[in-house]
Amino acid sequence: MEDLSTHSHKRALRISIDLAALKANLEVARTLAGGQKLFAVVKADAYGHGAVRVAQALDRADGFAVVTLQEALELRAASITQPILVLQGARAQSECEAFIKHALWPVIHCQEQLVWFENLLDKNELQAWLKLDTGMGRLGFQPEQARAVLANNSGLKWAGVMTHFASADEPERVQTQQQIELFHALTKGLSLPKSLANSAGVIAWPSSRADWARPGIMLYGSNPIAGTEHGEPALQAVMRVSAPLISIKDYKAGDSIGYAAGYVCSGAMSVGYVGIGYGDGLPRVLNNSASVYCNGKMCSVLGRVSMDSIAIDLSLVSEVQMGDEVVLWGPEHPVDILANAANTISYELMTSIRGPRDYI
C-alpha cells in the first residue's frame, strides 16, 4: 500500500522553467546592450526561477548580480566562478572579510559600509563598486557625498561606479535622462568601469550604455515597457505555471460563486475549479479582468481567489474534463495578464509563486 504521508506536502501546481528560453533572452539582452558586459541579475532566487540553475544555464553571462552576501555564497558553493556583484553590499562589518575570501564585488552605498571596508587589512584585494543615488531616492551616496568619496584617497581601490534608474520603464518621462546626465557629471574624468542600465535601460535608453548593464526581468521573458514603441524585443517566457482542474460544475442564472458571493451567474454556465490559490502565492486581489488558459481558450477567473483554488468560466471550452491543465501564465498566456489584474507587476507574481520547479 502506498504511503500517502510522503505526498502530504505537495501542492497541485506545476512550475516549469525553460532554460533554452532563458539563454535566448540573454542573447537578446546582449544584442540590445550594444557591446556592454552583462551582469545577469539573479536576485530573489532568480526572480523565482532558481538562482543556481539559472546561473549554471547562463554560463555566457559576464557576471551575476544578487542582493545579499548569502545569495552570492550560494552561487559560489555551486561553483559559479564569474564575478558576482552584491547590490546591497555588506549588512554588517562581520560580513566584510567574506567578500575578499570569496572574490565577491560589494556595492558600497553608504558611509558606514565605506568605513567597514576601509578598516580591512587586505582591502587592496577588494573589488568594490561605488553606488551613486542620482534620483532613485533609495540606496547610494547623494551627489555631494559622492564627490567627496571619489575625491578622497581612502585606500579603497574602486572597481567601478554605478547607479540605478527610478523610471526607465516609462520612456516618456525625462527623469531617466536627467539621471544619466547627473551620473556622467559626477564621474567625469574617472577611468573606472561604469554601470547604469537595468532591463528597461537596455531596451529603451541607448544613452545609458556604459561598460556593464544589469538585465534582470527581461532575462525571464517579461518586458518592463511592453506596449511602447520600444517594447517589442523578441523575449520568450521562461516560467510556466499550471495547475489541474479539480472540479467542474454547472450553474444556473442567479447562482453565486465563492466567498462573499463574489460572482453571480448571469445565465447557465459551466464553472471549473483549479487547484491553485493564494496559499501557493497567487494574488488574492485579482480583479474581474483576470484570465487563465485552458484547452486553447482564455477563461475568466470568477469571484474571489481562495487559499487553495480559483473558479474559472468554462463556457468557451468545448471539451474539458477533470485533470485538464490550466495555465496561469507561460508562453501561451503572458504573466502580465494576471499581473495587471492584480494591479501589480510580473516581478511580484514570479517571486511569490511557490512550488517545485521542473527544468526543461
- Give me the amino acid identity at 208: S
Cell numbers that stand for 114 in this block = 565605506
Q: Is 223 buried (19+), middle (13-18) or exposed (0-12) by CB count in 10 A?
A: buried
Q: Count CB atoms within 10 A of the CB of residue 128.
A: 22
Residue from 10, 43, 47, 359 carrying the catalytic annotation: 43
Cβ-contact 359, 15 below 8 angstroms: no
Phi, psi dihedral angles at 251 (to 5 degrees): -125, 160
Look-up of cell digits 531617466: 176
Residue from 101, 157, 249, 259 carrying the catalytic annotation: 259
Note if 43 is an active site residue: yes
Give me the active site residues, please. 43, 259
